[in-house]
Structure 1
Amino acid sequence: MYLLYFVVFISAFLLFQIELIIGKIFLPNYGGSYFVWGACIVFFQAALFAGYAFSHFVIRWLGITRYRFLHLAIIASSFLFFPGRSLPLRYSLTNLPIVIDVFLKLLVTIGPVFFVLSTISIVTQSWVANSKLPQKNNPYILFGISNFGSFLALMTYPFIFENYYDLSFQVNIWRIGYVALAVFQLIVFIVIKIEKEVVDHTRAIAISKRVIIEWCLYSAAAVILFLSVTNVLVLEIAPMPFLWILPLAIYLLSFVLNFKERPFFPKFIDKYAYLNIGFGVLFYFVVSAKAFPVLIVGLASLVFLFFICMTCQSRLYLSRPKDIRGLTYFYLIMSFAGFLGGLFATWIVPVFANSHLEFLIGLFMLCLAINISKKDYAVPFGVLVWVFALALLLYSGRIFLLKFQYWGILLLLGVVWVIFFALKKRAFGLSIALSVLIILANNIEMNWLKGNCIYQMRNYYGIIRVLDIGQARFMLNGKTIHGAQALDAKGRQVPIAYYNPRSPVVKLLLSVNQLRKIAIIGLGTGSLATYTNKDQSLDFYELDKDIIEVAKKYFVFLNIAHGNIKYYVGDARKSFESVDNKGYQLIVVDAFSGDSIPTHLLTKEGINVFRNNLAENGVIVFHATNQYINVVDPLVSTAFSLGAKVLYKTDVDITTGRFFAEWVAVTWNDETANQLRSVFNWEELDKNDFKDIRVWTDNYTNILPHLDIEKIFKSVMSVKMFPKPAYMK
């Protein structure tokens, strides 16, 4: 039996590790957006469903005895693709939407091997169920072991594999692991015998529609909620890859704890599930208000997700078919519902919603599943009164926050719990309450925001807000300010924040007469365009085309610019490679979405692409400011490896006392370096101070060693987000 444990464990480990490897390979090709990872998740769920569906129908038709031979043949045939063939590290882009382009590329690269790996767990469970092993009566424990393998793959990747090995080495290690898996699968074929089996081509067992609907709702709700919590973490806190895997790890851990011989599920989790749902409802709006330090928000979201997933998985385990003939059908329904949940949360909601609405929809599906299990559909008048009270309470919730600060949130939570306790007596009331909140969510959320939200949109790159607060207008991506302007007629023509008149980059634009051709990677509000004159050409390279429209419509900088402005939409590195725009005297790299790091722009190969488009006396200036990561060290080390001269400067907007900025200038021209040092007071860095910093390449990037603990602590404990400039009275 331990041999089967190992096969299931290593197959799941390899399954999730190739997810992380291919995700890391794909991210740079699409500008480092988190939604690339979301699109990858949808593909993985689709491939998992395809593997489960294939196993279910073929095992039902052939029986596990004959299917074993086919199973070995499928494993062998996978070597005709990857891992038998190499895995490219760079891909060309198409004009298709991101999610579809990612899906198709995954299909033709790791699709076959991922499909094979997705069949192993369910096939092995069927194998055990028809064997002479003692565990034949409860093969579901193998599903828990499978998820433990997945969990371990997630947690070891950032700390071991990504930290110490480059991508090529990771792929080779993975290939060796897959060969070992194929060998052990052959040994299992020889050692584990099958009892005499009668193949029944008809439906295995009768399962009620109510139970099937419950399976669908619990499975979809868990997936939607873990993806929506991921969205909250990366869009409202920090788009750091490590935060992407934490919700998925919790989701898998809930399977490990429930699908085992002695499930771990404290009764209080299910007994007070309605209180957790109530907490989730309030949490949704508190996150919008940015009322708490992000450390508290992050921890609260993960604890909430753990309890929610435990509720879903425990109910799935308890409702599993006791007759082993329904085993494959059970997993088929679970995987199908999980795939639809992921598709909905990652592909569909960002198109029609401008907030994290999938969070409330996931809670609604959980409430509906609980309601169906209780078979209670009555709606007395008292339920409607409680629902109305809940909506009114949340709509006016910001009043509690302003008057009582944090105590107001605790008071709100207490009242929300009282309402959910009352609704618990009528299970259908919970579903009605969530459906009403979904309809009113946008209005309630706008009422919680600080200031006046004049525009909000969501796409596959994040949530963009334009907020008027006091006498200033801000553009935000999640929690990060991407530009600001004053609202008064005179002040709004002068940029504030990072590109204020005293900014080091602005001084270069205004003081160096020979700057005729300029490139800026990352548009933001377009504030740098304000400083151009009629003899200068300025090319903006922007990944998200919607940002261009927002900057033109809600900010004045692009409209009052005197220079010749052009826009190139798409990944900057790809655009530089495909467009002949040589001879830039200045290239400004400011392509951070939130605080995510577009590492492919900071590698040796990426910097060389910019260098190839740089004039002989030109300079590349990187905006290296980040709340969580020390970007300067790997960037400087990489630039030195290319023989460049590297200079450094910091800046603070004196009108606000905020917007601390770090700038790194890279040039291969001695005269330019001397001018930056002597005229503009940049500090020239010494190569020997960075000799121990590992150089970033397309084959190796890793942010873990560069996490800045001091920055993180200061950031997560900060609750003041919008500064008040000194000129505002």
Structure 2
Amino acid sequence: MDAPQTQAGSQVEARRLATTLPIYLGTIFLSAFLLFGIQPMFAKMVLPRLGGSPGVWSVAMVFFQAVLLAGYGYAHWLVSRFAIRHAALIHISLMIVVLLIALPIGIAAGFDRPPPDGEIPWLVALFGMSVGLPFFAVSANGPLLQAWFARTGHAHAKDPYFLYAASNVGSFLALIAYPFAIEPFLALSGQATLWTWGFGLLLAGIAACAGLGLGQSVPGTTGIQTKLPQTVIAMQEKLAWVALAFVPSGLLVAVTAHVSTDVAAAPLLWVVPLALFLLTFVIVFQRKPILPHAWMLNAQLALVAAFVVLIAFKPDFGWWFYLALHLGLFFLTAMVAHGELAKLRPDPANLTQFYLWMSIGGVLGGLFSGLLAPIIFNSVIEYPVLLVAGLLCRPGFTAIKLSGWMRGAIAALVSLGFVGIVLREQQRTDSVRSFFGVNRIVDSDDGRFRMLFHGSTMHGAQKLREPDGTMAVGRPEPLTYYFSGGAIADGIDSVRQARGGTLAKVSVIGVGTGSLACQIRSGEDWNFYEIDPHVVRIATDPTRFSFFNACAPATAFVLGDARLTLADAPNGSLDLLVVDAFSSDAIPLHLLTREALALYITKLKPNGAVLFHISNRNMELGPVVTATARGQGLTTWIREPQQTNELAVQMKSSPQVAIVARQQVDVGPLAGDKAWIRQDGPDTARPWRDDYADIVSAIWRKLSD
């Protein structure tokens, strides 16, 4: 080869190496963005099928972790068995198949209605049939592209793990962008179309990466390494990868459940722990981490010590303080575990194997907290258990040398302790946990009231004792939002008067403690729709709450998601439908959409009405009800809360209520009551649909009040 040819070849090689890193970075970033963008998008598609419970998100996280593991296994297979040329051919062919048969993303046929039991297998099957193949194809790209980059001859190819930080930056930005920049502006159909175009662009990026990996080098240059020298990884080290990934993954689900159950009820709260989780990966896998690992080790001990002191003395610093404390504990524990994981990363030849075992730990952690813990525990006890496990991830513990019998003894003690915790949790009667969350029965400090909490939101209360300490006797008095004279009771009574004094047929979505049972009049036929069977058991147990037992012992209950079960009710049969499902932080959006309201109207008599209880600490839902109802040609009246100290002392809360009807005469005398404001002005919100809901704007309106 003469000098001009050698020089030209060198220039080609230089240009190839100069473009390698930007193209790999961009492709890995886009892949991670799509990987995390698909998760909230499809979870929202599923919402009308199964409701807005935290359990849906937990199952979704576990499913996506499991498919991620499968994708990592597939990437490891490609890298360990094939040269780049053949691996690229296989992977690009798979992506073309996905583009042709599985996109745009939508719900697979045959999943119109979940079974009354077995929600988890049904939901897993739904995710698998609908989105499993696209997610699998995209999930392989992270380790696969890093392994290819390690063979490019680039200056940074000897340590390609920094690309994992870029991957998690993409995931982080997708997570933040979805609720704030995508969901408020695009319907689900538009999101699915945009994701399909992104997938096509990703396919082009992968082809470009493969092409760069296949570029011919010239003599005297670094060249392409088709096979990297490989070392044997001991099983003990692989199990260490699993353990160090298990703890943060399980803690991610556990801390999300804990803060939403025991600290604060806030929409989109799940975004924060997940964002912190991704941020730890971004930091520890940088070539020069901005937060030194030694700092994280010291800070973890300091915050754990502060946490123990606060548990012992229980000072009232406000929920914001405790929210920050728990998120800080989670972040530092994840930083320590992931920092140790990054220190143990192997040479590039074992890169895909490292990610595979790490993913196994992530899946196991998610399975433990997301699926197993709700079955074996009646509270979120897995949270402190995993915090202790986080201390064991410290290098001081992992470096201890133990004999075989000592390891066996410690394992036996840990197993006995775990069994003891499970048995204790199973015997609890004050806390009941299900797929739909944690319900806690709490008596007030003075013993006068018994309350039901779902997470940190109260869903009803009953008076046990009078102010003088004597036992309350007789018919129980509805309290909290449901007291006589409150907006809910007055709205029901006004519609009753419009019917001549009796409501022939009423349906209620939401049970709570059953307070509304004591608003039923003689000769009226009421039934209650409830998604969580445990709530019905609590409300109908007279040793806990006696509203149903004392006021309506023959009440009928319909179990399942109300959007699906209400569809079975006869059309034109209801005088009144009460929708009482929006006071928690994770509101069931699918009960407040255009499609939901259209269903409600078909079930009403021509002069029927819908009463929405829309009290919510975090969201202003009145404009949503108004705009959605107006889109159906209906009129809305809203009564704002009028809370007083006198009501608070009596455990009564003034609610925000909206009534929707076809004509003014259908709502009775409240139409002339100044407390009930007819919504005649211009809309301040867009109507919600099954494929569109703007949660962020609802939060902003509440903050602006």
Judge same fold: TM > 0.5, yes or no. yes
Mapping of 1:498-517 within 5 angstroms? 498-509=481-492, 512=497, 513-517=501-505
Following superposition, the deviation at residue 233 of structure 1 comes to 2.8
Determine if the alignment matches structure 1 residue 699 to structure 2 residue 682: no
Give the equivalent residue in structure 2 for 1:466: 441
Query: Deviations for 1:448-478, whole angstroms, at most 9, x for unmatched residues?
Result: xxxxx95211111111111222211111111
Give the equivalent residue in structure 2 for 1:116: 137
Deviates more, 1:62-71 or 1:539-548: 62-71
Determine if the alignment matches structure 1 residue 609 to structure 2 residue 633: no
Give the equivalent residue in structure 2 for 1:420: none
Give the equivalent residue in structure 1 for 2:616: 626
Pick aligned residue for 1:687 from 668, 675, 680: 680
Query: Deviations for 1:640-675, whole angstroms, at most 9, x for unmatched residues?
Result: 221112111235485435523100000002312453
Following superposition, the deviation at residue 240 of structure 1 comes to 4.3
Give the equivalent residue in structure 1 for 2:3: none
Query: Deviations for 1:248-301, whole angstroms, at most 9, x for unmatched residues?
Result: 111011101111222233222123433344445567789xx7944221122222
Determine if the alignment matches structure 1 residue 313 to structure 2 residue 354: no
Following superposition, the deviation at residue 232 of structure 1 comes to 2.0
Mapping of 1:560-571 within 5 angstroms? 560-562=550-552, 565-571=555-561
Partners of 2:642 and 2:110 in 1: CA distance:
36
Following superposition, the deviation at residue 508 of structure 1 comes to 4.8
Partners of 1:308 and 1:56 in 2: CA distance:
29
Deviates more, 1:616-625 or 1:255-264: 255-264
Pick aligned residue for 1:230 from 245, 251, 256: 256
Aligned residues: 653
Residues 292 and 355 of structure 1: CA distance in aligned 2, closer, same or farther (over 3 Å): farther
Give the equivalent residue in structure 2 for 1:345: 369
Can you give the 5+ residue segments of structure 1 that lack an aligned partner in the other structure? Answer: 379-427, 447-452, 714-729
Determine if the alignment matches structure 1 residue 333 to structure 2 residue 357: yes
Query: Deviations for 1:673-696, whole angstroms, at most 9, x for unmatched residues?
Result: 453223x655242332x4242111
Partners of 1:434 and 1:360 in 2: CA distance:
16
The residue matched to 2:540 in structure 1 has which SS? helix
Partners of 1:155 and 1:438 in 2: CA distance:
39
Pick aligned residue for 2:57 from 13, 32, 37: 37
Q: Which amino acid aligns with 2:570?
A: D
Following superposition, the deviation at residue 185 of structure 1 comes to 1.6
Pick aligned residue for 1:640 from 626, 630, 639: 630
Q: Which amino acid aligns with 2:226?
A: E
Query: Deviations for 1:155-178, whole angstroms, at most 9, x for unmatched residues?
Result: 111111112222111111111111
Pick aligned residue for 2:590 from 600, 611, 621: 600
Determine if the alignment matches structure 1 residue 526 to structure 2 residue 520: no
Query: Deviations for 1:45-90, whole angstroms, at most 9, x for unmatched residues?
Result: 0010000111213321224442122111111111233325655799
Determine if the alignment matches structure 1 residue 144 to structure 2 residue 134: no
Residues 441 and 134 of structure 1: CA distance in aligned 2, closer, same or farther (over 3 Å): same
Following superposition, the deviation at residue 219 of structure 1 comes to 0.3
Give the equivalent residue in structure 2 for 1:382: none
Partners of 2:520 and 2:667 in 1: CA distance:
23
CA contact (8 A) 1:221 1:366 kept: yes
Query: Deviations for 1:328-360, whole angstroms, at most 9, x for unmatched residues?
Result: 111011001100100110000001101112212
Query: Deviations for 1:402-457, whole angstroms, at most 9, x for unmatched residues?
Result: xxxxxxxxxxxxxxxxxxxxxxxxxx9999899969956998999xxxxxx95211
Q: Which amino acid aligns with 1:561?
A: C
Determine if the alignment matches structure 1 residue 70 to structure 2 residue 90: yes
Mapping of 1:12-91 within 5 angstroms? 12-84=32-104, 91=111
Deviates more, 1:485-494 or 1:649-658: 649-658
Can you give the 5+ residue segments of structure 2 that lack an aligned partner in the other structure? Answer: 1-20, 216-223, 404-408, 465-470
Percent identity between the two aligned chains: 27
Partners of 1:541 and 1:285 in 2: CA distance:
42
Determine if the alignment matches structure 1 residue 548 to structure 2 residue 572: no
Pick aligned residue for 1:366 from 370, 381, 390: 390
Give the equivalent residue in structure 1 for 2:286: 260
CA contact (8 A) 1:364 1:434 kept: no
Deviates more, 1:333-342 or 1:483-492: 483-492
Following superposition, the deviation at residue 307 of structure 1 comes to 1.2
Partners of 1:313 and 1:431 in 2: CA distance:
27
RMSD over aligned CA atoms reads 3.2
Partners of 1:261 and 1:431 in 2: CA distance:
40
Query: Deviations for 1:204-261, whole angstroms, at most 9, x for unmatched residues?
Result: 5322333222211110101111111111232234554421111111101110111122
Give the equivalent residue in structure 1 for 2:11: none
Partners of 1:311 and 1:434 in 2: CA distance:
25
CA contact (8 A) 2:71 2:136 kept: yes
CA contact (8 A) 2:376 2:425 kept: no
Q: Which amino acid aligns with 1:456?
A: S
The residue matched to 1:187 in structure 2 has which SS? helix
Residues 21 and 140 of structure 1: CA distance in aligned 2, closer, same or farther (over 3 Å): same
Residues 361 and 64 of structure 1: CA distance in aligned 2, closer, same or farther (over 3 Å): farther
Q: Which amino acid aligns with 1:294?
A: W
Q: Which amino acid aligns with 1:145?
A: A
Partners of 1:176 and 1:486 in 2: CA distance:
58
CA contact (8 A) 2:637 2:679 kept: no
CA contact (8 A) 2:114 2:122 kept: yes
Give the equivalent residue in structure 2 for 1:416: none
CA contact (8 A) 1:473 1:484 kept: yes
Partners of 1:431 and 1:64 in 2: CA distance:
47
Give the equivalent residue in structure 2 for 1:324: 348
Give the equivalent residue in structure 2 for 1:381: none
Residues 563 and 516 of structure 1: CA distance in aligned 2, closer, same or farther (over 3 Å): farther
